[in-house]
Amino acid sequence: MLKNILTFTLFIITTNLFSQDRYAFYYNLEQLIETDKLEELVQQEAKISQYVIPVDTLSADIYAIIGEGNLILGEYEKAQNLYEKALGVRRNLNPLATEGFSSTLYNLVNVHLVLGHYAQALQLSEELLAVDEKLYGKSSIPYFQTVLFRADVLIETSKYDKALKLLNSQKKQLEDEYNIATLNAKKGDVLSLLGNYNDAQQLLSEASEVYASLNDTLSYALTQSAQGLNYMNMGKYPQAEYVFLESRDQLANLPDADYLADGAKSNLALAQLALGRQQSAIDIYETLRVKDSVNFGLSHPAYITTLINIGDAYYVNDEFDNAINSLTKALELAPDVYGANSEVEATILNNLAKVKSGLKDYSGALADLKRSQELFAEVYGKNSFLYSTATFNLGKVQLMMKSQAADKSLLEAGKIRKKVVGDKHPKYAEVTNYLGIYYWQQNDLKKARKYFEETFTNFLNQIKLFFPSLSEEEKTKFYLEKLKPAFEQYNTLGVRFMKDDPSILANMYNYQLQTKGIIMAATERLRKNIYNSSDSTLMKDYEDWKSLKERLSKLYSNNDPRQNYIDSLNQLANELERSLVRRSSDFAKVYDQQEADWKAVQEKLGDNEVAVEIIRYRVSDPKLAGEFTNDINYLALIIDKNSDYPKPVHFTRGSLMEGRYLNNYRNSIRYQIEDRFTYDELWEPMKDQFEGVKKIYISPDGVYNQVNLSTLVNPETGEYLIKEIEIQEVTSTRDLLVESKASGSSSADKYLFGFPMYTTNGTELTASKKERSLRGGLRGGGGFSETRGLRGGLLRYMRSGEGIATLPGTKTEVEEIEAILSKDGDNPKTLITDQANETAIKQVSNPEVLHIATHGYFLENIEPQEFGESKTYYQNPLLRAGLILAGAEDFLLTGSNSIDNEDGILTAYEAMNMDLNNTDLVVLSACETGLGEVSNGEGVYGLQRAFKIAGARYIIMSMWNVDDDATQRLMTLFYEHLSKGKEKYYAFRDAQLQLMEEYEQPFYWGAFKIVGQ
């Protein structure tokens, strides 16, 4: 008996000691996690077996706390194992509905989500909801938080309807403002995924306002990301980019939010990809890919998602091999994470098919798309947007294969997208564009026209939506790559269709009015709206942006080797420009104005006047699914006061016009010989339309930008066109709709710059009359590389050891003009020799007249490219045209200029930022100031464009190397006629006609053109 008592007593003592050791062990674990000694904490797992028993709350707590340490450290599989053991212990306890059981369930579901174990997450989160309902009650805050968590699981597994139903069940349970905002944010997220974008936007905006008022930065940033994704779904990519940037920056400044910040970066890359900034998106994805592989490993949803995204970005950037590699790797990893036949596999197959189609592997693409379509149908149903995506891509491949099944696929995709995202969404326009091509391929021109025109309604809306948030470079890329090709396809179709239904010509003319020079017009509007703004912060930021552009120009000029530094400055300038555009509300409203119409232009014409829109387009082949051939065509659309429709003149020899016949024209001018071809090629086909016409307003395109039509000789009469008809060149015939007065008042100042002192060493070139007589000779045919620098480019065109020739005629010119203007009571400011410098010109502010007489230059690109044929950003051609000013020779030879510490070279890139917002007239009395890189539909990227953007209403410019004496005489005559009160066009035309009496050849009198409103 005593032995039994002693044994029992010893058992109690031993048990008490064991219990004390267990609590001490658990207390030590708590101390380790509270002091962030996580590595030491997880090492305690080796001792667990000494302190746990099968049915015991403390044992479950020990498993759970070490599991939490592993979770924080990213050791998810170890965390899963420990949480499962904790849950197993708690299941053996009674009752199950305890806080500990609930907490363990929650953490285990979270680990399953991170590991991509969606089936387990769904099952356990449903159990968690039931436990918390019993434990806390449906009206409790803990239960509400579990509802939100369960909704997240349903969202992750694409069960959006169930998630929305669950969230709606909470509407009557909440009173607190914060919780209501949280519910609205989650519902907005689900509604966006279901395609109810407007309701989603309203709920997300309401939630954001509440979070902002409560200074809850984390919730606000996450809701901004949700709004960004909703904007992406709506096709409002600029707005999406803006809120993603805001979300990224806020999350980056919060502690322990690195993973969330990476999500915001990934979202930002999606927006940049949609806006045509492929390389920026690729850079983000590549950084995330490396980071995800380290943090999560290869078999993880985050890593696979990044692989899919970067594969798509590589595809858009035409890097097909990189795209295939990324997507194939994702396809290999997906089944282990998501299981077989998942929606992720469907997405990867869809994206792989796009790449294969780009590689002309249509049979491989077809097989992938059919499987993708089946999987999307199983997971989301046949009315989902993702199903429409696979169906649309299937239709495109079938179109490439000339299969009539394309009709069914494209119509089905279009019907779904119209229902889900609406007919204003860019994704809907993708479908209608290809439907137009399909019916064109089937020779059903009426249906083809219908779908093309529906596409353009969408495109013009995109311009209104996107342009107010893009820099000029990005506008160029967006329009020329995403929109312009379809307009060119339509022009090919229209020429085929116009005999059967001439009403298509009216639409062709209208589209030209609405899109020609649209990028330049947008930049002009931005400048004017900022200048007219009373917002001092906006003005300061605009001046900062101009300073950045100036710094970039100098870096290019000086051949600075720090390409990364230049790239970073360029990126900073683009970001600041986008910010300026977003904040210029008046600028955004410009696109809501009534669109130009050919009938409105017609009403402005006199009885003997016509308007001509020249359209240059690449020929598209419907048999090749709308791809472009090597043929170039031109179309002249002509309207007079009584036209029922614009009258077409079709030119099919565009490539010859731009090559052989342009060279022939230039040679005939240069060598002053008879030109027997240019009139026949560029003018004669239109001649009959001008019978009885006194004046032509012509908007040139392509090769017509590179000739002076007034210099062409009519072989029947032997007369130059300048004597037979008045030809006034305009940027677009919509200029006829512009009020004759400038938008603001310029100063009365008139500035005359001439006879610059190119060097201060006293050895300026003294050359023969012939050498000195040309204001230029700096045009290069050997090529110019932006990265090589302006200085290096120009040095090659200076004669070795001789320097830049002086131009004494420019001194006479400005002095005579000064005398003419002074007679009229003006007091012009004349700056010559060292005063004719770059600093002085840049300091000119809004004069009435700016006249510059000096050398000009245009450096041809080594590899001229067709806009729209490359996915990369274009070298800025405004760096390759400019004016030579005081001190330029010293800079070119030594790299410094003592006159004003500038380089003495005013590039078009710099001129664009001058303050000429209401300047009436700019005269560029120099060589080749009208030349530049021709962007079809956008005019000439050179000095003409630069001074137009800077604000000048009228510009006089030259098309070739000009004679010094003849130019001086022409300019004097022009100002004399101007002083008699003549309108600028007529003053200039009369001056040319008068000069013809002294110089018969057009080389002398026809070098200059006047362009303006």
pLDDT, residue 469, reads: 67
- Nearest CA among 983, 989, 907, 987 for reference residue 950: 907
Q: 88: Cβ–Cβ under 8 A, 6 or more apart, which residues?
A: none
DSSP for 48-102 reads GGGT--SS-HHHHHHHHHHHHHHHHTT-HHHHHHHHHHHHHHHHTSS-S-SHHHH
Place of tokens 């330049």: 520
Instruction: Please report which confidence band the pLDDT of residue 556 belongs to, taking 50, 70 and 90 as the band edges.
Output: low
**Which of 39-43, 230-234, 287-291, 931-935 has the weakest average pLDDT?**
931-935
Mean pLDDT over 954-971 rounds to: 90
Instruction: Please report which confidence band the pLDDT of residue 394 belongs to, taking 50, 70 and 90 as the band edges.
Output: very high
Residue 7 pLDDT > 80:
no
Mean pLDDT over 706-732 rounds to: 94
**Which of 413-417, 546-550, 868-872 has the weakest average pLDDT?**
868-872
- Do residues 220 and 249 lie in contact, with contact meaning Cβ atoms separated by under 8 Å? no
Element (H, E) at 905: strand 905-907
The count of other CB atoms within 10 Å of the CB of residue 433 is 24
Give the Cα separation of 704 and 682 in Å (integer): 8
Higher pLDDT, 33 or 664: 664
DSSP for 774-820 reads BS----BSS---TTT-HHHHHHTTSBTTTBPBP-HHHHHHHHHHHHH
Instruction: Please report which confidence band the pLDDT of residue 936 belongs to, taking 50, 70 and 90 as the band edges.
Output: low
Terminal CA-CA length for the chain: 120
- Do residues 467 and 591 lie in contact, with contact meaning Cβ atoms separated by under 8 Å? yes
What's the pLDDT tens digit per position in 970-999?
999 999 999 999 999 999 999 999 999 999
Give the Cα separation of 102 and 114 in Å (integer): 19
pLDDT, residue 559, reads: 57
Residue 783 pLDDT > 70:
no
**Which of 93-102, 370-379, 430-439 has the weakest average pLDDT?**
93-102
pLDDT, residue 788, reads: 30
pLDDT above 90 covers a percentage of the chain that reads 48
pLDDT, residue 563, reads: 56
Higher pLDDT, 540 or 485: 485
C-alpha distance from residue 332 to each of 286, 345, 512, 804 (Å): 19, 9, 49, 65
3-state secondary structure of 167: helix
Residue 389 pLDDT > 90:
yes
What's the pLDDT tens digit per position in 314-349?
999 999 999 999 999 999 999 887 778 888 999 999
Residue 748 pLDDT > 90:
no
Residue 789 pLDDT > 80:
no
pLDDT, residue 523, reads: 75
Place of tokens 């692989």: 307
Pairing status of strand 855-858 against strand 881-884: antiparallel
- Phi/psi zone of residue 958: left (φ > 0), alpha (ψ -120 to 50 degrees), beta? beta
pLDDT, residue 874, reads: 35
What's the pLDDT tens digit per position in 566-615?
666 777 777 777 777 777 655 445 455 557 899 999 999 999 999 999 99
Please state the three-class secondary structure of 319-354 as a single string: CHHHHHHHHHHHHHHHHHHHCCCCHHHHHHHHHHHH
- Nearest CA among 811, 824, 809 for reference residue 976: 824
What's the pLDDT tens digit per position in 790-830?
444 565 445 445 678 888 889 999 999 999 999 888 899 99
Residue 480: DSSP 8-state = I
DSSP strand E in 672-716: where? Answer: 695-699
Give the Cα separation of 459 and 465 in Å (integer): 10
Q: Which residues pair with 1009 in a beta bridge?
A: 957
pTM of the model: 0.76
Kindly give the interhelix angle for 177-193 and 197-213, rounded to the nearest 10 degrees.
150
Mean pLDDT over 695-721 rounds to: 94
pLDDT above 70 covers a percentage of the chain that reads 87
- Do residues 952 and 923 lie in contact, with contact meaning Cβ atoms separated by under 8 Å? no
Q: 161: Cβ–Cβ under 8 A, 6 or more apart, which residues?
A: 194
C-alpha distance from residue 666 to each of 265, 291, 490, 660, 760 (Å): 52, 58, 32, 10, 36
* pLDDT, averaged across the chain: 85
DSSP strand E in 656-729: where? Answer: 695-699, 726-729
Token representation of residue 374: 């089946």
